[in-house]
Amino acid sequence: MVKNPRTPARPDQLRPLNRPLPIRVETEQHLPVALSSANRQRHAIVEVQDTWNVDDEWWREPIHRRYYRVQLDNGSLHTIYADAGAWHEQRY
């Protein structure tokens, strides 16, 4: 069991971890085919390894997202998603 440190909780100092980053994604027939990084370098998507949907928080402001785990032409893997018409990259 973890010992109680007897210090007060400080919820005002909490911060979100790994905020998603806005990213530019090119699509064809609603599927991602290329993305541009922050330095505007374009990379083709050579493989979509996985896709999944997240539908959450129906009791507040609902979240409806379609996630893609993609491999780029340089071999790197990225998790991207579309939310309300905008694309983001989720880094872990």
Instruction: Say what the pLDDT of residue 68 is.
Output: 96
3-state secondary structure (DSSP) of residue 87:
strand
Instruction: Say what the pLDDT of residue 14 is.
Output: 73
What are the tens digits of pLDDT across the range 42-72?
999 999 999 999 988 878 888 889 999 999 9
- On whether the CB atoms of residues 38 and 61 are closer than 8 A, the answer is no
**Looking at the predicted structure, is the pLDDT value of residue 89 above 80?**
yes
* Strands 86-89, 31-36: pairing kind: unpaired
Calculate the CA 68 to chain-centre distance: 9
pLDDT category at 10 given cuts 50, 70, 90 is confident
For residue 67, which of 86, 46, 82, 47 has the smallest C-alpha distance?
82
Instruction: Say what the pLDDT of residue 17 is.
Output: 79
**Looking at the predicted structure, is the pLDDT value of residue 81 above 80?**
yes
**Looking at the predicted structure, is the pLDDT value of residue 87 above 80?**
yes
The residue that leads in pLDDT, 80 or 60, is 80
What residues does each domain of the chain span?
A: 19-89
